[in-house]
Protein backbone atom coordinates (compact mmCIF):
# COMPACT_ATOMS: atom_id res chain seq x y z
CA UNK A 1 0.00 0.00 0.00
CA UNK A 2 1.09 3.52 -0.75
CA UNK A 3 3.77 4.54 1.73
CA UNK A 4 6.27 7.34 1.54
CA UNK A 5 3.89 9.41 -0.59
CA UNK A 6 4.75 13.10 -0.88
CA UNK A 7 2.52 16.16 -1.06
CA UNK A 8 2.89 18.92 -3.66
CA UNK A 9 5.59 20.60 -1.55
CA UNK A 10 7.67 17.44 -1.17
CA UNK A 11 6.59 16.68 2.44
CA UNK A 12 5.72 13.17 3.57
CA UNK A 13 1.93 12.64 3.75
CA UNK A 14 0.96 11.22 7.15
CA UNK A 15 -1.90 8.69 7.26
CA UNK A 16 -5.08 10.37 8.53
CA UNK A 17 -8.57 9.46 9.69
CA UNK A 18 -11.34 11.03 7.66
CA UNK A 19 -14.95 11.34 8.80
CA UNK A 20 -16.85 11.28 5.50
CA UNK A 21 -20.51 12.26 5.81
CA UNK A 22 -22.57 11.20 2.78
CA UNK A 23 -19.96 8.54 1.97
CA UNK A 24 -22.63 6.23 0.56
CA UNK A 25 -23.59 8.60 -2.26
CA UNK A 26 -22.24 9.07 -5.78
CA UNK A 27 -19.20 11.23 -4.99
CA UNK A 28 -18.61 9.57 -1.61
CA UNK A 29 -18.45 6.09 -3.11
CA UNK A 30 -15.79 7.15 -5.65
CA UNK A 31 -13.82 9.02 -3.01
CA UNK A 32 -13.88 6.00 -0.65
CA UNK A 33 -12.69 3.77 -3.50
CA UNK A 34 -9.82 6.11 -4.30
CA UNK A 35 -8.76 6.47 -0.66
CA UNK A 36 -8.83 2.69 -0.15
CA UNK A 37 -6.98 1.87 -3.38
CA UNK A 38 -4.29 4.53 -3.37
CA UNK A 39 -3.72 5.89 0.13
CA UNK A 40 -3.17 4.62 3.68
CA UNK A 41 -5.92 6.85 5.13
CA UNK A 42 -8.79 5.52 7.27
CA UNK A 43 -12.42 6.43 6.58
CA UNK A 44 -15.29 6.67 9.05
CA UNK A 45 -18.06 6.46 6.44
CA UNK A 46 -21.32 8.07 7.60
CA UNK A 47 -24.57 7.71 5.65
CA UNK A 48 -28.09 6.35 5.85
CA UNK A 49 -27.35 4.07 2.86
CA UNK A 50 -24.35 1.87 2.11
CA UNK A 51 -25.32 0.09 -1.16
CA UNK A 52 -22.79 2.01 -3.28
CA UNK A 53 -19.87 1.11 -1.00
CA UNK A 54 -20.72 -2.47 0.03
CA UNK A 55 -17.93 -3.73 -2.25
CA UNK A 56 -15.47 -1.86 0.01
CA UNK A 57 -17.02 -3.01 3.28
CA UNK A 58 -17.22 -6.73 2.61
CA UNK A 59 -14.21 -8.85 3.54
CA UNK A 60 -14.06 -10.70 0.20
CA UNK A 61 -13.21 -9.78 -3.34
CA UNK A 62 -11.19 -7.56 -5.63
CA UNK A 63 -9.89 -4.13 -4.79
CA UNK A 64 -11.91 -4.16 -1.61
CA UNK A 65 -10.02 -6.70 0.44
CA UNK A 66 -7.05 -4.61 1.61
CA UNK A 67 -9.44 -1.83 2.56
CA UNK A 68 -11.72 -3.65 4.99
CA UNK A 69 -9.86 -2.66 8.14
CA UNK A 70 -9.47 0.96 7.00
CA UNK A 71 -13.12 1.76 6.33
CA UNK A 72 -15.88 1.61 8.91
CA UNK A 73 -19.51 2.25 8.07
CA UNK A 74 -21.69 4.19 10.53
CA UNK A 75 -25.35 4.13 9.55
CA UNK A 76 -26.68 7.36 10.95
CA UNK A 77 -28.83 10.32 10.02
CA UNK A 78 -26.94 13.51 10.84
CA UNK A 79 -30.25 15.29 11.49
CA UNK A 80 -30.67 13.63 14.85
CA UNK A 81 -27.82 11.44 16.00
CA UNK A 82 -25.63 12.27 18.96
CA UNK A 83 -22.83 9.98 17.67
CA UNK A 84 -21.88 12.61 15.07
CA UNK A 85 -19.73 14.76 17.34
CA UNK A 86 -17.78 11.71 18.58
CA UNK A 87 -16.97 10.67 15.01
CA UNK A 88 -15.82 14.18 14.08
CA UNK A 89 -13.62 14.25 17.21
CA UNK A 90 -12.04 10.89 16.26
CA UNK A 91 -11.08 12.18 12.80
CA UNK A 92 -8.37 14.56 11.58
CA UNK A 93 -10.56 15.80 8.77
CA UNK A 94 -14.31 15.87 8.10
CA UNK A 95 -15.70 15.87 4.56
CA UNK A 96 -19.39 16.78 4.32
CA UNK A 97 -21.17 15.52 1.21
CA UNK A 98 -24.61 14.94 2.73
CA UNK A 99 -27.36 16.84 0.95
CA UNK A 100 -30.57 16.70 -1.01
CA UNK A 101 -29.15 17.62 -4.40
CA UNK A 102 -31.54 16.59 -7.20
CA UNK A 103 -33.14 19.54 -9.08
CA UNK A 104 -36.54 17.81 -9.12
CA UNK A 105 -36.63 18.29 -5.31
CA UNK A 106 -35.67 21.97 -5.11
CA UNK A 107 -39.10 23.36 -6.03
CA UNK A 108 -41.23 20.38 -4.93
CA UNK A 109 -39.59 19.72 -1.51
CA UNK A 110 -38.12 23.16 -0.76
CA UNK A 111 -38.32 22.79 3.02
CA UNK A 112 -36.43 19.51 3.06
CA UNK A 113 -33.95 20.97 0.57
CA UNK A 114 -33.25 23.97 2.81
CA UNK A 115 -33.06 21.85 5.98
CA UNK A 116 -30.76 19.33 4.36
CA UNK A 117 -28.38 21.85 2.78
CA UNK A 118 -28.27 24.42 5.58
CA UNK A 119 -29.76 23.40 8.95
CA UNK A 120 -28.42 19.82 8.93
CA UNK A 121 -24.94 21.03 8.01
CA UNK A 122 -24.79 23.46 10.96
CA UNK A 123 -23.76 20.92 13.65
CA UNK A 124 -21.03 19.60 11.35
CA UNK A 125 -19.52 23.07 11.02
CA UNK A 126 -19.96 23.74 14.74
CA UNK A 127 -18.29 20.47 15.86
CA UNK A 128 -15.38 21.04 13.48
CA UNK A 129 -14.92 24.60 14.68
CA UNK A 130 -15.24 23.79 18.40
CA UNK A 131 -12.91 20.80 18.21
CA UNK A 132 -10.29 22.44 15.98
CA UNK A 133 -10.91 19.96 13.11
CA UNK A 134 -10.42 20.63 9.43
CA UNK A 135 -13.54 20.64 7.21
CA UNK A 136 -13.96 20.08 3.46
CA UNK A 137 -17.52 21.08 2.65
CA UNK A 138 -19.30 20.30 -0.62
CA UNK A 139 -21.20 23.27 -2.02
CA UNK A 140 -22.30 23.60 -5.66
CA UNK A 141 -21.81 25.56 -8.88
CA UNK A 142 -25.52 26.43 -8.55
CA UNK A 143 -24.55 29.10 -6.05
CA UNK A 144 -23.52 31.33 -8.98
CA UNK A 145 -27.15 31.22 -10.21
CA UNK A 146 -27.57 32.98 -13.54
CA UNK A 147 -24.76 34.64 -15.50
CA UNK A 148 -24.52 38.44 -15.81
CA UNK A 149 -24.62 37.89 -19.58
CA UNK A 150 -28.11 36.38 -19.39
CA UNK A 151 -29.50 39.82 -18.52
CA UNK A 152 -28.04 41.45 -21.65
CA UNK A 153 -30.17 41.87 -24.78
CA UNK A 154 -30.20 38.63 -26.84
CA UNK A 155 -28.23 40.25 -29.69
CA UNK A 156 -25.63 41.98 -27.49
CA UNK A 157 -22.05 41.14 -28.60
CA UNK A 158 -21.05 41.26 -24.91
CA UNK A 159 -22.78 37.89 -24.48
CA UNK A 160 -19.75 36.38 -26.23
CA UNK A 161 -17.33 38.06 -23.80
CA UNK A 162 -16.11 35.62 -21.09
CA UNK A 163 -16.20 38.48 -18.56
CA UNK A 164 -20.01 38.15 -18.70
CA UNK A 165 -20.28 34.41 -18.20
CA UNK A 166 -17.14 32.71 -16.80
CA UNK A 167 -17.70 31.97 -13.10
CA UNK A 168 -14.92 33.01 -10.70
CA UNK A 169 -14.85 31.98 -7.06
CA UNK A 170 -13.61 35.34 -5.76
CA UNK A 171 -15.35 37.73 -8.17
CA UNK A 172 -18.63 36.47 -9.60
CA UNK A 173 -21.88 37.47 -7.91
CA UNK A 174 -24.57 34.95 -6.91
CA UNK A 175 -27.66 35.81 -8.97
CA UNK A 176 -30.86 34.00 -8.05
CA UNK A 177 -34.48 34.41 -9.17
CA UNK A 178 -37.37 35.64 -7.00
CA UNK A 179 -38.51 33.72 -3.89
CA UNK A 180 -41.52 32.22 -5.68
CA UNK A 181 -39.08 30.47 -8.01
CA UNK A 182 -38.38 27.85 -5.38
CA UNK A 183 -35.75 26.24 -7.57
CA UNK A 184 -33.29 28.60 -5.88
CA UNK A 185 -33.92 27.15 -2.39
CA UNK A 186 -30.98 24.77 -2.89
CA UNK A 187 -28.52 27.38 -4.18
CA UNK A 188 -29.52 29.85 -1.49
CA UNK A 189 -29.13 27.28 1.35
CA UNK A 190 -25.72 26.29 -0.03
CA UNK A 191 -24.72 29.94 -0.26
CA UNK A 192 -25.64 30.60 3.36
CA UNK A 193 -23.71 27.58 4.65
CA UNK A 194 -20.69 28.73 2.59
CA UNK A 195 -20.94 32.16 4.19
CA UNK A 196 -21.21 30.61 7.65
CA UNK A 197 -18.15 28.40 7.09
CA UNK A 198 -16.21 31.36 5.74
CA UNK A 199 -17.19 33.41 8.79
CA UNK A 200 -16.16 30.55 11.14
CA UNK A 201 -12.78 30.68 9.39
CA UNK A 202 -12.51 34.45 9.73
CA UNK A 203 -13.76 34.77 13.33
CA UNK A 204 -12.86 31.44 14.96
CA UNK A 205 -10.00 30.12 12.84
CA UNK A 206 -11.86 27.11 11.33
CA UNK A 207 -9.63 25.42 8.74
CA UNK A 208 -11.96 24.87 5.80
CA UNK A 209 -12.07 24.16 2.09
CA UNK A 210 -15.22 24.65 0.03
CA UNK A 211 -15.75 22.63 -3.15
CA UNK A 212 -18.08 23.81 -5.90
CA UNK A 213 -18.67 20.85 -8.23
CA UNK A 214 -19.67 21.64 -11.83
CA UNK A 215 -21.68 18.61 -13.01
CA UNK A 216 -19.54 15.68 -11.99
CA UNK A 217 -20.84 12.60 -13.75
CA UNK A 218 -20.02 8.90 -14.03
CA UNK A 219 -21.02 5.43 -12.86
CA UNK A 220 -23.21 5.09 -9.73
CA UNK A 221 -24.77 8.54 -10.18
CA UNK A 222 -28.28 8.53 -8.69
CA UNK A 223 -30.62 5.68 -9.64
CA UNK A 224 -32.66 4.21 -12.46
CA UNK A 225 -36.36 4.72 -11.61
CA UNK A 226 -38.16 1.43 -10.93
CA UNK A 227 -34.88 -0.53 -10.74
CA UNK A 228 -32.81 0.79 -7.84
CA UNK A 229 -34.94 3.82 -6.99
CA UNK A 230 -38.62 4.79 -6.87
CA UNK A 231 -40.58 4.45 -10.16
CA UNK A 232 -41.85 8.01 -9.83
CA UNK A 233 -38.44 9.45 -8.84
CA UNK A 234 -36.72 12.03 -11.07
CA UNK A 235 -32.92 11.73 -10.81
CA UNK A 236 -30.36 14.18 -12.26
CA UNK A 237 -29.95 14.56 -16.02
CA UNK A 238 -27.42 11.75 -16.59
CA UNK A 239 -29.62 9.12 -14.94
CA UNK A 240 -32.82 10.54 -16.53
CA UNK A 241 -31.33 10.25 -20.02
CA UNK A 242 -29.77 6.83 -19.22
CA UNK A 243 -33.18 5.61 -18.07
CA UNK A 244 -34.78 6.76 -21.35
CA UNK A 245 -32.02 5.12 -23.42
CA UNK A 246 -32.22 1.83 -21.49
CA UNK A 247 -36.01 1.74 -21.94
CA UNK A 248 -35.84 2.81 -25.61
CA UNK A 249 -37.88 5.96 -24.90
CA UNK A 250 -37.20 9.42 -26.35
CA UNK A 251 -35.07 11.65 -24.11
CA UNK A 252 -37.11 14.48 -22.58
CA UNK A 253 -35.64 17.92 -23.24
CA UNK A 254 -36.83 20.50 -20.74
CA UNK A 255 -37.60 23.88 -22.39
CA UNK A 256 -35.81 22.80 -25.57
CA UNK A 257 -32.61 21.68 -23.78
CA UNK A 258 -31.05 25.09 -24.39
CA UNK A 259 -29.23 25.40 -21.03
CA UNK A 260 -25.48 25.05 -21.35
CA UNK A 261 -23.47 22.91 -18.94
CA UNK A 262 -19.92 21.66 -18.55
CA UNK A 263 -19.45 18.02 -17.51
CA UNK A 264 -16.43 16.56 -15.76
CA UNK A 265 -15.65 12.88 -15.29
CA UNK A 266 -16.01 11.80 -11.66
CA UNK A 267 -12.59 10.15 -11.67
CA UNK A 268 -10.89 13.40 -12.76
CA UNK A 269 -12.78 15.37 -10.10
CA UNK A 270 -11.86 12.87 -7.37
CA UNK A 271 -8.18 13.51 -8.18
CA UNK A 272 -8.81 17.16 -7.30
CA UNK A 273 -10.43 16.22 -3.97
CA UNK A 274 -7.49 13.96 -3.08
CA UNK A 275 -5.12 16.87 -3.72
CA UNK A 276 -7.19 19.01 -1.34
CA UNK A 277 -7.17 16.28 1.32
CA UNK A 278 -3.41 15.80 1.16
CA UNK A 279 -2.32 19.42 0.71
CA UNK A 280 -4.01 21.29 3.57
CA UNK A 281 -1.63 24.24 3.47
CA UNK A 282 -2.63 24.87 -0.16
CA UNK A 283 -6.32 24.05 0.25
CA UNK A 284 -7.26 25.64 3.59
CA UNK A 285 -9.22 28.87 3.35
CA UNK A 286 -9.93 28.26 -0.35
CA UNK A 287 -13.09 27.91 -2.39
CA UNK A 288 -12.52 25.75 -5.48
CA UNK A 289 -14.48 25.42 -8.71
CA UNK A 290 -14.04 21.83 -9.89
CA UNK A 291 -15.24 21.30 -13.45
CA UNK A 292 -14.13 20.88 -17.05
CA UNK A 293 -14.56 24.07 -19.11
CA UNK A 294 -13.61 22.14 -22.27
CA UNK A 295 -16.63 19.84 -22.03
CA UNK A 296 -19.35 22.43 -22.63
CA UNK A 297 -22.57 21.44 -24.40
CA UNK A 298 -26.23 22.37 -24.39
CA UNK A 299 -28.44 19.78 -22.73
CA UNK A 300 -29.80 19.03 -26.23
CA UNK A 301 -26.26 18.31 -27.47
CA UNK A 302 -25.68 16.11 -24.42
CA UNK A 303 -28.83 14.13 -25.30
CA UNK A 304 -27.64 13.72 -28.89
CA UNK A 305 -24.18 12.58 -27.85
CA UNK A 306 -25.55 10.16 -25.25
CA UNK A 307 -27.86 8.68 -27.92
CA UNK A 308 -24.90 8.11 -30.27
CA UNK A 309 -22.65 6.68 -27.56
CA UNK A 310 -25.38 4.42 -26.16
CA UNK A 311 -26.11 3.03 -29.61
CA UNK A 312 -22.41 2.18 -30.00
CA UNK A 313 -22.18 0.61 -26.54
CA UNK A 314 -25.42 -1.41 -26.69
CA UNK A 315 -25.43 -2.27 -30.40
CA UNK A 316 -29.05 -0.99 -30.61
CA UNK A 317 -29.92 1.54 -33.30
CA UNK A 318 -31.24 4.92 -32.08
CA UNK A 319 -34.98 5.64 -32.19
CA UNK A 320 -36.37 7.53 -35.21
CA UNK A 321 -37.37 10.31 -32.79
CA UNK A 322 -34.60 10.28 -30.19
CA UNK A 323 -35.75 13.37 -28.21
CA UNK A 324 -39.01 15.12 -27.32
CA UNK A 325 -39.54 18.60 -25.89
CA UNK A 326 -41.36 19.12 -22.58
CA UNK A 327 -41.99 22.33 -20.67
CA UNK A 328 -40.25 22.84 -17.33
CA UNK A 329 -43.67 23.26 -15.69
CA UNK A 330 -44.76 19.86 -17.02
CA UNK A 331 -41.48 18.17 -16.04
CA UNK A 332 -40.53 19.86 -12.76
CA UNK A 333 -43.79 21.62 -11.72
CA UNK A 334 -44.32 25.21 -10.52
CA UNK A 335 -41.45 27.31 -9.25
CA UNK A 336 -38.79 25.90 -11.58
CA UNK A 337 -36.14 28.18 -13.06
CA UNK A 338 -32.67 27.58 -14.45
CA UNK A 339 -29.16 28.95 -14.94
CA UNK A 340 -28.35 29.63 -18.56
CA UNK A 341 -24.68 28.65 -18.66
CA UNK A 342 -21.99 27.42 -16.27
CA UNK A 343 -18.33 27.68 -17.20
CA UNK A 344 -15.90 27.39 -14.29
CA UNK A 345 -12.84 29.60 -14.10
CA UNK A 346 -9.95 27.27 -13.25
CA UNK A 347 -7.31 29.80 -12.16
CA UNK A 348 -7.49 29.13 -8.41
CA UNK A 349 -7.44 25.33 -8.49
CA UNK A 350 -4.69 25.43 -11.08
CA UNK A 351 -2.56 27.80 -9.03
CA UNK A 352 -3.10 26.09 -5.66
CA UNK A 353 -3.18 22.42 -6.64
CA UNK A 354 -1.95 22.26 -10.26
CA UNK A 355 -5.10 20.26 -11.14
CA UNK A 356 -6.56 19.97 -14.63
CA UNK A 357 -9.34 17.68 -15.88
CA UNK A 358 -8.33 15.18 -18.58
CA UNK A 359 -11.30 13.23 -19.88
CA UNK A 360 -13.30 14.37 -22.92
CA UNK A 361 -17.09 14.29 -22.85
CA UNK A 362 -17.22 11.50 -25.42
CA UNK A 363 -14.82 9.31 -23.42
CA UNK A 364 -16.57 9.88 -20.11
CA UNK A 365 -19.95 9.10 -21.66
CA UNK A 366 -18.53 5.96 -23.21
CA UNK A 367 -17.30 4.56 -19.89
CA UNK A 368 -20.40 5.70 -18.01
CA UNK A 369 -22.92 4.33 -20.51
CA UNK A 370 -20.99 1.06 -20.74
CA UNK A 371 -21.47 0.81 -16.96
CA UNK A 372 -25.17 1.75 -17.19
CA UNK A 373 -25.79 -0.83 -19.93
CA UNK A 374 -23.92 -3.59 -18.09
CA UNK A 375 -25.60 -2.80 -14.76
CA UNK A 376 -29.20 -2.17 -15.79
CA UNK A 377 -30.08 -3.49 -19.28
CA UNK A 378 -31.03 -7.01 -18.12
CA UNK A 379 -33.03 -5.77 -15.11
CA UNK A 380 -34.97 -3.38 -17.36
CA UNK A 381 -35.71 -6.14 -19.88
CA UNK A 382 -37.08 -8.31 -17.06
CA UNK A 383 -39.38 -5.58 -15.69
CA UNK A 384 -40.59 -4.72 -19.20
CA UNK A 385 -41.35 -8.35 -20.07
CA UNK A 386 -43.16 -8.80 -16.71
CA UNK A 387 -45.37 -5.77 -17.31
CA UNK A 388 -46.24 -6.90 -20.89
CA UNK A 389 -47.06 -10.39 -19.58
CA UNK A 390 -49.54 -8.97 -16.98
Do the beta carbons of residue 25 and residue 52 sit within 8 Å? yes
Residue 190 Cβ, how far from ligand NAD at the closest point, in Å?
Answer: 7
Instruction: Name the minimum Å distance from CB 191 to ligand NAD.
Output: 12
Burial class of residue 389, CB neighbours in 10 A (0-12, 13-18, 19+): exposed
Q: Give the binding site for ligand NAD (CB under 6 A).
A: 22, 24-28, 46-49, 77-79, 97-99, 101, 116, 120, 138, 140-141, 213, 215-216
Terminal Cα-to-Cα distance of the chain (whole angstroms):
53
Count of Cβ atoms closer than 10 Å to residue 40 Cβ: 15
C-beta separation of 87 from 19 below 8 A: yes
Of residues 32 and 46, the one with the C-beta less far from ligand NAD: 46
> Which ranges of the chain does DSSP label H, i.e. alpha helix?
26-38, 54-57, 83-90, 103-106, 110-117, 122-130, 185-204, 237-246, 266-278, 280-283, 299-314, 328-332, 347-353, 361-389
Q: Which position among 144, 165, 186, 265 bears the catalytic label?
A: 186
Query: Smallest distance, Å, CB 62 to ligand NAD?
Result: 22
- Number of residues that this document lists for the chain: 390
DSSP characters over 194-250: HHHHHHHHHHH---EEEEEE--EE-TT-S--BTTTB-TT----HHHHHHHHHHTT-P
Q: Which residue is nearest to ligand NAD (CB)?
A: 25
Radius of gyration, alpha carbons of the chain: 21
Can 332 be counted among the known catalytic residues?
A: no
Minimal distance, residue 291 CB to ligand NAD, in Å: 9
Q: Which one, 229 or 280, has the nearer CB to ligand NAD?
A: 229
Least distance to ligand NAD, CB of residue 142, Å: 7
Identify which of residues 25 and 110 has a Cβ nearer to ligand NAD in the complex. Answer: 25
In sequence order, the β-bridge partners of residue 264 are: 216
Residue 250 or 292 having the CB closest to ligand NAD: 292
- Give, in order, the Cα–Cα distances in Å from 175 to each of 142, 155, 293: 10, 21, 20
- Alpha carbons 124 and 135: distance in angstroms, whole number: 9
Q: 42 pairs with which residues across the strands?
A: 17
Query: What does the alpha-carbon distance between residue 182 and residue 135 come to, in Å, rounded to a whole number?
Result: 29
Minimum distance of ligand NAD from residue 65's CB (angstroms): 24
Of the pair 263, 332, the CB lying nearest ligand NAD is at 263
Query: Closest CB to ligand NAD among 21 and 309?
Result: 21
Active site residues: 186
Amino acid sequence: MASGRLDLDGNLIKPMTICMIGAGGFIGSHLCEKLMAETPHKVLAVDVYSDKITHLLEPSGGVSSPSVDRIQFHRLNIKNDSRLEGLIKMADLTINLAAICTPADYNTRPLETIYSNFIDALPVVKYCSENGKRLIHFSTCEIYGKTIGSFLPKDSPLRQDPAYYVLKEDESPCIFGPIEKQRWSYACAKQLIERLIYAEGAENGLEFTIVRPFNWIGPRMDFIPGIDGPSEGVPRVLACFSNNLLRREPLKLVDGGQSQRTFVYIKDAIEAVLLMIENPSRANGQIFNVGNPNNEVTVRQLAEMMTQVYSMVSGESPLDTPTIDVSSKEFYGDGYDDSDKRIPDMTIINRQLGWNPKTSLWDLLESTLTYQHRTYAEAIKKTTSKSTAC
